[in-house]
């Protein structure tokens, strides 16, 4: 193509790009989109739990714009999500790690494990959704398997859950366009 100044634009050939379509989207955002889809389709009612915060100080630079300058957590939160599916109570935590070989148990808190134990004792379904970002793999890891790993760390065992153990004991969650983290397909197979 000739341009007005007589110069031709050089032709550039771009190398084939790797798809990064999911890069930048966090696991939590994908789960939120998935639970929204489940609700809109009438499949389940699952919500992200709000973190209880006590606001201490607010700055008002303008009448219409308030800025929270100081706040504290009111209490330790339990897990990230809860709701109901096919008449069963579901309660789960969502975690991602950049680590290629394991998931550190330090990312789970004792009060969360205790909460999950109570959910199971009362007939509910509880699990962790774990994403290994290095592999872009997301797993449903049953709370009962978590309890075993949790206790082992206090008995001289590892303070993490190996990637290989998650692959062996967990359940790979399929990725779909509308249901980015389709955990209910795994819940159906595993619990119902």
pLDDT tens column, 53-111: 778 888 888 777 888 888 777 666 789 999 999 999 999 999 999 999 999 999 999 99
**Residue 145 labelled as part of a binding site:** no
**Residue 78 labelled as part of a binding site:** yes
**Residue 155 labelled as part of a binding site:** no
**Residue 151 labelled as part of a binding site:** no
Specify the pTM.
Answer: 0.79
b/e for 9-48, b at 16 or more Cβ within 10 A? Answer: eeeeeeeeeeeeeeeeeebbebbbebbebbeeeeebebee
């Amino acid at each position: 193509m000739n341009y007005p100044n007589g110069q031709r634009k050089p032709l550039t050939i771009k190398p084939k790009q790797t798809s990064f379509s999911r890069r930048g989207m966090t696991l939590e955002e994908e789960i939120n989109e998935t639970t929204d889809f489940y609700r809109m389709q009438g499949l389940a009612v699952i919500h992200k739990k709000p973190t209880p915060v006590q606001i201490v100080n607010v700055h008002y630079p303008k009448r219409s714009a308030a800025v929270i300058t100081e706040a504290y957590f009111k209490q330790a939160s339990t897990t990230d999500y809860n709701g109901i599916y096919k008449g069963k109570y579901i309660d789960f935590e969502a975690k991602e790690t950049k680590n290629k070989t394991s998931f550190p148990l330090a990312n789970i808190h004792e009060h969360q494990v205790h909460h999950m134990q109570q959910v199971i004792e009362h007939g509910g379904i509880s699990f962790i959704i774990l994403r290994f970002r290095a592999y872009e793999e997301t797993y449903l890891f049953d709370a009962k398997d978590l309890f075993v790993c949790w206790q082992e760390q206090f008995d001289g065992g590892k303070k993490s859950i190996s990637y290989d153990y998650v692959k062996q004991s967990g359940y790979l969650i399929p990725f779909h366009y509308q249901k980015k983290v389709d955990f209910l397909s795994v819940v159906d197979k595993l619990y119902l």
